[in-house]
C-alpha cells in the first residue's frame, strides 16, 4: 500500500477496516478452538 493512499483514508475507515479484519480473525479463532474442543471431547469419550 502506497503512503499517498494511506493519507486519503480517514481514521474512521482504518478503524472500520481493522475491526472487520479483527472480527474475521476472532471468528476463525473461535471456530478453530470449538472444533478442537469437540475433537478432544470425542477422543476422550471414545477412549474412556
Residue 11 CA, chain-centre distance (Å), reads 21
Q: Is the pLDDT of residue 16 over 90?
A: no
Average pLDDT, stretch 20-37? Answer: 92
Q: Is the pLDDT of residue 21 over 70?
A: yes
Identify the DSSP state of 2: -
- State the cell numbers at 37: 474442543
Rounded CA-CA distance 37/31 in Å is 10
Using alpha carbons only, how large is the chain's radius of gyration in Å?
19
State percent of the chain over pLDDT 70: 81
Classify the C-alpha dihedral 12-17-21-27 as positive or negative: positive
Q: How confident is the model at residue 3 (pLDDT cuts 50, 70, 90)?
A: low
Task: Tell me which of 24 and 38 has the higher pLDDT.
Answer: 38
Q: Is the pLDDT of residue 48 over 80?
A: no
Amino acid at each position: 500500500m502506497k503512503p499517498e493512499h494511506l493519507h486519503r483514508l480517514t481514521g474512521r475507515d482504518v478503524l472500520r477496516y481493522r475491526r472487520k479484519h479483527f472480527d474475521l480473525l476472532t471468528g476463525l479463532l473461535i471456530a478453530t478452538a470449538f472444533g478442537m474442543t469437540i475433537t478432544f471431547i470425542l477422543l476422550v469419550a471414545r477412549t474412556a
